[in-house]
Amino acid sequence: FDPNQIVSGKSYLTNSLKERIDSAETFRLKDQWRIEAPAEVKDYIQGIADFSRDSLSANTPKADNRDRGTDDYDLKFINSASELYDIIKEKNATVGLSRVVATFDWKYSPSKNKSESTGYWYVEDNDFKVPWNLQLDMVKSAQKKNIPWQEIPDSIDEVGSIYTVQGTDLNYVGVILGPSIEY
């Protein structure tokens, strides 16, 4: 259990579960990186996550394969959501398990009317307009069968929430930073 990874109300613990955790054997993790990237890339990403001063405007570190002989690690900033989406769709077609996610900045409410013409909520930015998170019929149907979002082939046709993929492994992920992330 890591209290710093509580991202929704569903993640909070009941009192009885807290008591069980308090009495459980503990292990201290040094880090929880789920990427194979050079240290300078990890440090750069950590700076963004920690909201370090000017972290987004700093130079992107050179990403190479110095980390245990792994393949090249790609870290890029792209100013166009459409271009990012096209790149990730191509990666998904060639290597699989590639998805686009976004910060939770777009309109969505399960109890309010969606777009009148399509019935979806959207992530929109200039020429980019893609359904937002767990709305497509094939995705909803697969979710009812407990298939993870990233493993549903049709989920490539929508933008997931950053919470949708938390703790999962992807080959490539494109992250759309919304207005809540100032840079």
**Tens of pLDDT along 23-56?**
888 877 777 777 777 777 777 777 777 766 666 6
**Tens of pLDDT along 111-164?**
665 656 677 889 998 999 999 988 899 999 998 898 889 999 999 999 998 878
C-beta of residue 163 within 8 angstroms of C-beta of residue 8: yes
pLDDT of the residue at 96: 94
pLDDT of the residue at 88: 96
As a whole number of angstroms, the distance between CA 5 and CA 82 comes to: 30
Q: Which residue has the higher pLDDT, 99 or 19?
A: 99
As a whole number of angstroms, the distance between CA 131 and CA 181 comes to: 21
Q: Give the pairing of strands 172-176 and 160-161.
A: unpaired
Instruction: Check: pTM over 0.85? Answer yes or no.
Output: no
pLDDT band at 65, cuts 50/70/90?
very low
Average pLDDT over residues 94-109: 88
Name the residue ranges covered by the structural domains of the chain: 34-77, 78-183
As a whole number, the mean pLDDT across the chain is 79
